[in-house]
Amino acid sequence: MFCPLAIMAKNKSAPLLGANGRGGARRKGSMGRIFGTDGVRGIVGCQLTAEVAMNIGRAAAMVLAEQPTAARPRVLIGKDPRLSSDMLEAAVAAGLCAVGADVLRVGVLPTPAVAYLVRHYKADAGVMISASHNPAPYNGIKLFGADGYKLSDALEDEIEAIILDGARPYPVKTGVEIGRITEDAEAARTAYVDYIAGLAQGKLAGLRLLVDCANGAASTTTRPLLERLGVSFDLIFDKPDGLNINADCGSTCIGALGERVRAGHYDLGLAFDGDADRLLAVDEKGQVFTGDHIMAFLGRYLKAQGRLKKDTIAITPMTNMGFYGFAEAAGIQTAVTKVGDRYVLEYLLEHGCNFGGEQSGHFIFLDYHTTGDGALSAVLLLNALAASGGPLSVQQSIMEVYPQRLLGVKATPAMKAALTDHPGVARAIEDARAALGRSGRVDVRPSGTEPLIRVMVEGESDEKISAVGQTLAATIEEYLGPCE
């Protein structure tokens, strides 16, 4: 019998990383008091208020002003189309200007566009107002440094200390010292689209696509990008109203896209999330082409071109067990990091690799960008498809897919904090692993972006993993207490 765990043991495996970006171990692996695994995130009006946003702007400008080249910082701000994004953008901009930073507003754009444009405009930092794949009541604030990478742990810690501990008072600026606000949305969008379109290779003109924009930031960039590529396409969920972002659409709700692709005789379907840093796909038969399939397909494509550094792909524990069989057959090494794109990025930077990602559709191609980018992933997927000479459905067999169940236990911060130390939970996890044996896996972790404890169970029997997963999730809730 094929033993996926034996295959895993053969592959090079990085230690589980407890760090963010480039900054080394973060608070002994925990999230910060304001910054989580992907910036600041919460329900607007509750955890995330205009006052919090303004203080983040003020503290960020203070910290940036102390950098060698940023006596008067210039900060670029983008946003997704949530109802609350305008308010939070205004608050962050006010905070930045109040302590002497200049602001360039670039409008509604994907998160990766902001990361790219920071370097394009030679700004000192970038701010993205978005809660990514979360529903409309949530929003978030992500900070990027001048290099286009997410702000380091050390700088985030300084910002937190100013806001929460009063480590330093906010300076008072007057007259010409106050920052200015300018806007350049159209030119910024064009610059980003031009860059991504310039990465296209091969004959793409004959393709016919259906693209789900998640009623999010991709709604502003997908049409001009696909027009530049010369493909035939239709867009759906590309009319955001501030409240419908990620609502029964996008990469987190991809099921309906498959039927539309099949019925409409499209060559493939693409789905972004709310801030367009993720991509999933469906083939011409309407079958979901998972994030793991995309990583396998693109990894093999890059390796064939001699562009997969160290023949290694960085993945996370959420990656399907079947991926390890693909990697061994393809002569590709796997490096396992903690769940989260920041940990994937850290491995790539520390070990001289250039490709990795997550099952959710968040992929990092360091040769082209500093962060996950759904549009970039789409172009590279189309390049690989053109090079293959066949339909996407042929690539479904690139890896065996083991049944997997993902469950979420609603959790307070206290429940998340107690997760790793509770002896009853530890026993329940070990019991679940014993029930599956060497033919399955269990992964339990607190979400860094939502009020959930995530439970992943994977194995050869769909019925068995469903039962094990439900039992484990119920036991965790029983021991840690239901979230009111």
Please give the tally of structural domains in the chain. Answer: 2
Interval 29-38 mean pLDDT: 67
Structural domain boundaries, residue 57 = 33-184
Query: Domain for residue 4, yes or no?
Result: no
Give the residue among 257, 271, 319 at the shortest CA–CA distance from 292: 319
The pLDDT of residue 70 is above 80: no
Q: Are 98 and 176 in contact (CB under 8 A)?
A: no
- The band of 483, judged by pLDDT with boundaries at 50, 70 and 90, is low
The residue among 184, 206, 223 that closes a domain is 184
pLDDT > 70 in the chain, percent: 92
CA nearest to 374, candidates 50, 111, 75: 111
Number of other CB atoms surrounding residue 470 within 10 Å: 14
pLDDT of residue 450: 80
Residue 314 · residue 12 · CB < 8 Å: no
Asked if residue 461 is part of any domain, the answer here is yes
Give which of 187, 377, 396 is closest to 285, Cα–Cα.
396
> Given this model, what pLDDT does residue 460 score?
87
Indicate whether 270 belongs to any domain.
no
The yes-or-no verdict on residue 21 having pLDDT over 50 is no
For the stretch 5-14, pLDDT in tens is 433 434 443 3
> Averaged over 343-361, what is the pLDDT?
96
Closest by CA to 278, choosing from 367, 205, 216, is: 216
**CATH number of residue 414's parent domain:** 3.30.310.50
Contact 76, 126 (CB under 8 A): yes
Residue 399 is given by DSSP the state S
DSSP 371: S
249: its two tokens: 């659409």
165 CB-near residues (< 8 Å, 6+ apart): none
Establish how many alpha carbons lie within 13 A of residue 48's alpha carbon, considering only the half-sphere containing its beta carbon.
Answer: 27
User: What CATH number is associated with residue 42?
Assistant: 3.40.120.10
Mean pLDDT over 453-458 rounds to 92
Q: Is residue 23 part of a domain?
A: no
Say what the pLDDT of residue 32 is. Answer: 60
Q: Looking at the annotation, which residues are catalytic?
A: 132
Residue 361 lies in a domain: no
What's this model's pTM, rounded to 2 decimal places? Answer: 0.87
Q: What are phi and psi of 112, to 5 degrees?
A: -65, -25
192 and 115 Cβ atoms separated by less than 8 Å: no
- Residue 25 three-state SS: strand
Cα–Cα distances in Å, from 161 out to 144, 188, 225, 277, 384? 18, 33, 41, 29, 46
- Residue 478: partners with Cβ closer than 8 Å, 6 or more residues away: none
The order of strands in the sheet holding 181-183 is: 40-43, 138-145, 125-129, 74-79, 102-108, 181-183
Are the C-beta atoms of 78 and 128 separated by less than 8 Å? yes
In order, the DSSP letters of 94-122 are: HHHHHTT-EEEEEEE--HHHHHHHHHHTT
CA dihedral sign of residues 38, 42, 44, 49: negative
290 within some domain: no
Q: Is the pLDDT of residue 127 over 70?
A: yes
Among 137, 162, 184, the domain boundary falls at 184
Q: Which of residues 162, 184, 206 is at a domain's end?
A: 184
**Residues 127, 95: Cα–Cα separation, whole Å:** 12
The two structure tokens encoding residue 390: 């066949």
Residue 100, domain member (yes or no): yes
Q: Are 246 and 209 in contact (CB under 8 A)?
A: no
